[in-house]
Structure 1
């Protein structure tokens, strides 16, 4: 079976490179020109052959050609290498005109564009199409000429990077693993890679997903690790960076990514679709991280992302400290020595990705988000406002204007954050349409236990008005003739103690109804008229009527 090389485009017969062959031909022409020069000086054939390390036959050919063409010193010096080569042409070059030349451009285009296309298939097509009956190149000659054409026409423009100008970002194709310490379930960890192309300095970090929040957080951490911000960010056309849905549509940076870039004062310039050379430094950085970071972690077992990222930082620091192979120093030397000084300064506060909600202001001038309540100016009661939720802050906007700001509440549900400036004056004085007296009076109409529970709900809030909505919700459970059920449920909640809430009272009422439905019904007592069975004319019904008539008189 004939040997086929793994990469036939670079396979050469005899191991000689085409460039070496060309240099050898040039050296031959230079040697013949030097032989002629020595012969014109009167050097013998033997001395010229020994001095120039060639055969006497070659010297004889040069002497014969000089005599035939009448070449003198002036003409020899004025001749080029091509002219000297023409003097000794043996006709072998004409044989090349007999060969059928392949369509090299088409071959290279199909190799790059058509999946699973190979040089062997292209050579078979070349052999099948020979209408002129010319000679055909063999497989090795075909591969050599295609390779020469590819090297000559696959030109690449070098991108001149400036220090601190750009940061290239991308996700690695390979993933790491994080295992649940209890169940042992594996979760993928996606590696974000940021590279500064001038110094080739790399930052990498693992995240549980590739969604927008992780994408934004990765950029923020990269800026903090670099100690500055570049002028331009160059991502690819991933969904977290652009909103482009079709090839015909223009590229549009999505709102969250653009907001983050504006916060840091940099521009976003996505690379062209299917043009990886636009961000070749990022592709190289990803390849290095997959080799020097992800590959060593393949057999490791991590139970948290903090543990995994600590090891990733160690391996990335080692990568940045490795010496360059083709220039002095390392990535750390180039970045911290020069490029970091060219970065723009970080803003005072890091960027924070917010969640947006639409909420209606309740009668107690609060909005509810994630089971927590935040106050707004009382004039906005009944309006629908925008709520911006951050990791540590909550802002409420009406018509694009911020009307209230609060710290983000965490922990127990149902907490309140109330600004006294948002309260109406009558609430500051505990006087309003909804007052403690109004709720206690209405609860007293239902029963004493309900009144006691309502008082406990109002006392549980630091601002009494905060308990108005829960009290209204609890009292609404008395509708549809269920006042007695509400009284019984309030009695049970009061007896058990703890925090009284609408949900707890409602669940207690539902449990009482379920218990009543499951309880067996009392047996009915059947009255037996023994007088009728004994044959008497007047039975028990007669005497019952007589007793009723007597009572009426």
Structure 2
């Protein structure tokens, strides 16, 4: 008997030639170009099944097959059926293999399936569990899918020699299959958004739908029914007029085209570059660009047109036009205004009008500017600073704070000059005695407000002679009339050499 079963149509012809025409086995075999022994085997099989030509000629191919090749019913007692559902669960555990589960099964049922039959029945069970797949034809210009490749590439820092892993972003137009890819340092939100901008530029337009994986850069909170988009990613989608649809969690077929594009990039772009060394992202992306041009331009299986050809002829004109200007990446976050009427962003603090203290505001930061909004109204704008510190606009400050901000050594020195030379010398001494002049501002302010100019000047003369410069000491001098009168009668105090004058602070 031949190993390969003949078609029912040919078997029926064998029986007709034998039983109706009356040919020998050799003549029948020669007519049908099969071995004469095969003819004999099929005739015997039909006879064992109790068939004759009057029955066979009216049978369908299915009925004839069931009579000639009856399915052997397995004896459940002879081969106990494993719990395939439990085996499916067990295989999810680390280190558990089909061989291990079969050994446990055969120990419990020595008369059970052998290992190969065990695996075959498990495979058949798995096939029966698969749900039907809905094939949805893709409309031209309708959708693009984006994802990151699992495979990474490396760039060598030319100065330090450090090897840096870089991520590979992949996007594909679902209808034509045109693929875009680029390398960048991380899967951060800025890189994610800028890759989209360059991808849209590569396509020369935008699709109506973007289907994405549940990456943190794109989806801030994955959910089967209502996934939350990252707010900045939402801004990009609005700018380009696309609708973003995240793939359902644990539904790989939702992004099947994207994953296939990733596979194509890994196989035909990254693998050929694996032995090359790159010393900058620019060099790597130039190499990716060349390989990508080849991938998009090659004919596909069965001599189907290339991705580039299908795109140029059918999809290019169906894309939405690009907006007049590219999307400017904005980092967007909510913040609460501190009691000092500043908000914190990237380790730097930016002022807002003081009336918004304790209010919740929205920060929109580009590479150059930091804008702050309250209820959709812009209340502040600063040049972005990437260092620790403060950016403060004086008009944001309360009046008393602006007045305090005007306190400088020069201001106190000019004020003291207007009163008299002794007062000027004493104020300079107070500022000099502090490690930082700012630490003496309140003392200077208190002294200069103690009394009328003539009394204060006399008190400062006496204080300089006695070598006392504190607010409390001068206040006591003024309160003692005798000391003040004595101070008025004394000659003008010379300027001490160790005291810095106004010129030091100008």
SS in 1 for 2:175: coil
Q: Does 1:127 align with 2:106?
A: yes
Counterpart of 1:113 in structure 2 is 92
Structure 1 CA distance, aligned partners of 2:441 and 2:80?
Answer: 96
Structure 1 CA distance, aligned partners of 2:30 and 2:233?
Answer: 75
Q: Does 1:34 align with 2:1?
A: no
Counterpart of 2:330 in structure 1 is 353
Q: Report the CA distance shift for 1:80/1:129 in structure 2 as closer, same or farther (over 3 A).
A: farther
Q: Report the CA distance shift for 1:240/1:122 in structure 2 as closer, same or farther (over 3 A).
A: same
Structure 1 CA distance, aligned partners of 2:498 and 2:391?
Answer: 25
Of 261, 268, 278, the residue aligned with 1:302 is: 278
Q: Does 1:186 align with 2:186?
A: no
Give CA deviations for 1:367-410 in whole Å, capped at 9, x if unaligned: 9999999999xxx5654575533234454534421356687799
Counterpart of 2:28 in structure 1 is 48
Q: CA deviation at 1:324?
A: 0.9
Counterpart of 1:469 in structure 2 is none
Q: Does 1:203 align with 2:180?
A: yes
Give CA deviations for 1:260-285 in whole Å, capped at 9, x if unaligned: 21222222221122222221111122
Counterpart of 1:341 in structure 2 is 317
Counterpart of 1:444 in structure 2 is 414
Q: Does 1:25 align with 2:5?
A: yes
* Residues 7-26 of structure 1 mapped to structure 2, 5 A cutoff: 24-26=4-6
User: Are the counterparts in 1 of residues 143 and 208 from structure 2 also a CA contact under 8 Å?
Assistant: yes
Q: Report the CA distance shift for 1:488/1:305 in structure 2 as closer, same or farther (over 3 A).
A: farther
Of 219, 228, 235, the residue aligned with 1:259 is: 235
* Residues 511-522 of structure 1 mapped to structure 2, 5 A cutoff: none
Structure 2 CA distance, aligned partners of 1:200 and 1:117?
Answer: 39
Of stretches 285-294 and 247-256 in structure 1, the one that deviates more from structure 2 is 247-256
Counterpart of 1:455 in structure 2 is none
Give CA deviations for 1:82-107 in whole Å, capped at 9, x if unaligned: 55456657x99467777516448437
TM-score, normalized by length of structure 1? 0.62
Structure 1 CA distance, aligned partners of 2:391 and 2:46?
Answer: 107
User: Are the counterparts in 2 of residues 478 and 486 from structure 1 also a CA contact under 8 Å?
Assistant: no
Q: Report the CA distance shift for 1:108/1:485 in structure 2 as closer, same or farther (over 3 A).
A: farther
Q: CA deviation at 1:79?
A: 2.0
Q: CA deviation at 1:119?
A: 3.2
Q: CA deviation at 1:238?
A: 1.9
Structure 1 CA distance, aligned partners of 2:246 and 2:45?
Answer: 68
Gaps of 5+ in 2: 397-401, 419-435, 445-468, 471-495
Q: Report the CA distance shift for 1:62/1:295 in structure 2 as closer, same or farther (over 3 A).
A: closer
Q: CA deviation at 1:78?
A: 0.9
Counterpart of 2:114 in structure 1 is 138
Q: Report the CA distance shift for 1:102/1:327 in structure 2 as closer, same or farther (over 3 A).
A: farther
Structure 2 CA distance, aligned partners of 1:127 and 1:362?
Answer: 75
Give CA deviations for 1:203-251 in whole Å, capped at 9, x if unaligned: 1111212121111112122112111122222222222222327x79953
User: Are the counterparts in 2 of residues 443 and 475 from structure 1 also a CA contact under 8 Å?
Assistant: no
Of stretches 350-359 and 121-130 in structure 1, the one that deviates more from structure 2 is 350-359
Structure 1 CA distance, aligned partners of 2:245 and 2:38?
Answer: 67
Structure 2 CA distance, aligned partners of 1:60 and 1:300?
Answer: 63
Of 57, 69, 78, the residue aligned with 1:77 is: 57
User: Are the counterparts in 2 of residues 108 and 150 from structure 1 also a CA contact under 8 Å?
Assistant: no
Gaps of 5+ in 1: 1-19, 424-431, 449-472, 495-553
Structure 1 CA distance, aligned partners of 2:316 and 2:242?
Answer: 16
Q: Does 1:268 align with 2:244?
A: yes
Q: Does 1:316 align with 2:297?
A: no
Of 209, 220, 237, the residue aligned with 1:232 is: 209
Number of equivalent positions: 425
TM-score, normalized by length of structure 2? 0.67
Structure 1 CA distance, aligned partners of 2:362 and 2:128?
Answer: 61
SS in 2 for 1:174: coil
* Residues 406-417 of structure 1 mapped to structure 2, 5 A cutoff: none
Q: Report the CA distance shift for 1:69/1:140 in structure 2 as closer, same or farther (over 3 A).
A: closer
Counterpart of 1:222 in structure 2 is 199
* Residues 153-552 of structure 1 mapped to structure 2, 5 A cutoff: 154=130, 157=133, 158-244=135-221, 251-351=227-327, 352-354=329-331, 380=353, 383-384=356-357, 388-402=364-378, 442-445=412-415, 478-480=441-443, 488=500, 491=503
Q: CA RMSD in A?
A: 4.9
Structure 1 CA distance, aligned partners of 2:362 and 2:498?
Answer: 36
